[in-house]
């Protein structure tokens, strides 16, 4: 089962490395990871998407709590309605000819994606949604046009309602 683990930690050199090292040493796979400072620039938030049942994730979170610089850890199943999750996709596609360009524009309208760069032969598309929807959009685009390059941000998530990871 895919799990989202959110971590608040001191924004210091080596802090992210220690978190990633813990996963590596224990043989846990990180499917994707995002990290950035919070509203308090001395604190960073790391969001990790990993695979594992509740027992494995509980073990990971207990080990994360023991790391130097870690302030708070919380986990959630990524399919839970208790978390708002988004991922950004940039996809560069071949867009030669009026018909193909119109098809790509229509696809962007359907998915609510944006064309963020246009050249005579290429479009760069931007799509923001859940990982599931990003996969669907990428599949649809690849069926319409030749995909030249893709870049995905990884999952960012925040808890709904009163639940907060705030320090």
**And the tokens for 127?**
């799509």
Buried b (16+ CB within 10 A) or exposed e, 102-118: eebeebbeebebeeeee
Distance from C-alpha of 59 to C-alpha of 83, rounded to nearest angstrom: 21
pLDDT number for residue 79: 53
pLDDT number for residue 167: 54
Q: Class assignment of domain 2-77?
A: alpha beta
State the helix-helix crossing angle for 98-111 and 131-144, rounded to 10 degrees. 160
Task: Judge residue 57's burial from the number of C-beta atoms within 10 Å of its C-beta, 0-12 exposed, 13-18 middle, 19 or more buried.
Answer: buried
The sign of the dihedral angle between the CA atoms of 83, 88, 41, 26 is positive
Give pLDDT tens digits along the chain (167 positions). Answer: 788 899 999 999 999 999 999 999 988 899 989 999 988 999 999 999 988 887 888 888 999 999 989 999 988 765 556 788 899 999 999 999 999 999 999 999 999 999 999 999 999 999 999 999 999 999 999 999 999 999 999 888 888 888 777 65
**And the tokens for 124?**
């760069």
pLDDT number for residue 19: 94
Give bridge partners of residue 157 from the DSSP assignment. 85
| Domain limits, CATH 3.30.70.1150, in the chain | 84-152
Q: What angle do CA 65, 70, 72 make, to 5 degrees?
A: 70
| Domain limits, CATH 3.30.70.260, in the chain | 2-77
Residue carrying structure tokens 């319409």: 144
pLDDT number for residue 146: 97
Q: Give the chain's count of helices (H) and strands (E).
A: 4, 9
Q: Please tell me the pTM assigned to this model.
A: 0.78
pLDDT number for residue 147: 98
pLDDT number for residue 74: 87
Query: What's the CATH fold of domain 84-152?
Result: Alpha-Beta Plaits (3.30.70)
Task: Judge residue 74's burial from the number of C-beta atoms within 10 Å of its C-beta, 0-12 exposed, 13-18 middle, 19 or more buried.
Answer: middle
What is the DSSP track for 82-126? TEEEEEEEEEEEE--SHHHHHHHHHHHHHHT-EEEEE-SSEEEEE
pLDDT number for residue 161: 83
pLDDT number for residue 40: 92
């Amino acid at each position: 089962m895919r799990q989202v683990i959110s971590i608040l930690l001191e924004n210091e050199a080596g802090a992210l490395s220690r978190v990633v090292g813990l996963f590596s040493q224990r043989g846990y796979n990180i499917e994707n990871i995002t990290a950035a400072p919070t509203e308090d620039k001395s604190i960073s938030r790391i969001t990790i998407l990993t695979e594992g049942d509740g027992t494995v994730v509980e073990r990971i979170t207990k080990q994360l709590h023991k790391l130097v610089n870690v302030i708070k850890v919380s986990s959630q199943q990524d399919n839970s309605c208790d978390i708002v999750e988004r991922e950004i996709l940039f996809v560069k596609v071949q867009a030669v000819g009026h018909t193909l360009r119109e098809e790509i524009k229509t696809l962007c309208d359907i998915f609510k994606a944006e064309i963020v760069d246009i050249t005579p032969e290429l479009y760069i598309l931007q799509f923001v949604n859940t990982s599931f929807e990003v996969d669907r959009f990428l599949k649809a685009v690849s069926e319409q046009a030749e995909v030249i390059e893709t870049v995905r941000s990884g999952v960012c998530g925040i808890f709904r309602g009163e639940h907060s990871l705030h320090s």
